[in-house]
Amino acid sequence: MKISKQTNFVGSTPMGTELSILNYEIDSEKAGKHIYIQSGIHGGEITQWILHELFSFLKANLQQGKVTLVPCANPVSWTQRVYYSTNGKFDFYMGKDWNRNFPGNADGSMGERIAGILFGNAQKADFALDLHTSRESIPFGIYSRPEYEDILKIIGIKYNQFIDMRNASAYANTLNACLDSVGVPNLCIECGSHDAYEEKNIHEVMEGIKRLLASFEMIDKKQCTPAPAEIKTFAKTVKYTAPKGCVLLLAKPLGSKVQNGDDLFYCYDNNELGTKETVKSKHNGVLFKASPTHIYWSGDDVVQLLLDEDTRTIATAA
């Protein structure tokens, strides 16, 4: 077993502080697959809980192949802090999502330089995972090609969203779309909520990664739990927004089943103290994502539902 750290220089701040991306490589020193797992392209999306646990697990259990772990893929987004909140979804200088700079450019903007280093390392792998979190959410996978459903069945995350990145220009410069273009199979996993520690969600994603490694014969399959008997895929979602500026409470916890006519959330208007307005669902589905706040302007996103009419159940090999 060989464990090494590799530092990739990105650039420097106006004060001359050097910025770099650190990779960990856990190499069994036996022939096998190479898996790349990236975390933290967006500041504040704490998926490092999983990498801390996975690193310790791999040191004790990796039997063949090697795994590259990148705990903090973006050294700039994690510095974008306002009061106690790390706001690392968008580049404050360029006004651009940090995950829209791939495949990158060594002579481009800071975002393009970071993307170039990440993409250069990821495209060397046999399989890549990009770990994110999403506002307040339950874990869900994002996949870009139908053939990746075989991998979804192995990993066993309950919900998985299909986005056809070949025909969706908004996703053309994501890591996932660019890895598709060079033939590296990959998935994105939204591991739960932004800036949170959610033990159940960490466990679900961790077990999914272990099942993936076992399928590549990198670890003993006895080291992981079986996948659930079925998973679900979806493509369509529906968004509900705040009808007015207000403070707001959700009526149901994330992951809840929602029927047409059910209460979704309650609006408390400061101009009408002692009253609340109820927003009801017009759809059947599952509450899978919500904005992480109680404070809303008119028209702000509140919740998203995945729709029963669009949800497909797939039996796994379990």
Q: What is the pLDDT of residues 132-153, one digit of tens each?
A: 999 999 999 999 999 999 999 9
pLDDT value at 24 more than 70:
yes
At residue 221, the pLDDT reads 93
Q: Residue 102 contacts by C-beta under 8 Å, 6 or more apart in sequence?
A: 115, 118, 119, 173, 174, 175, 177, 178
Mean local confidence (pLDDT), 41-46: 97
Packing angle, helices 48-61 and 199-215, rounded to 10: 40
User: What is the percent of the chain where pLDDT is above 70?
Assistant: 100
pLDDT value at 318 more than 60:
no
CB contact at 8 A, 116 and 105? yes
Q: What is the pLDDT of residues 160-213, one digit of tens each?
A: 999 999 888 899 999 999 999 999 999 999 999 999 999 999 999 999 999 999
Q: What is the pLDDT of residues 96-126, one digit of tens each?
A: 999 999 999 999 999 999 999 999 999 999 9
H/E segment holding residue 9:
strand 2-12
Number of residues in the chain: 318
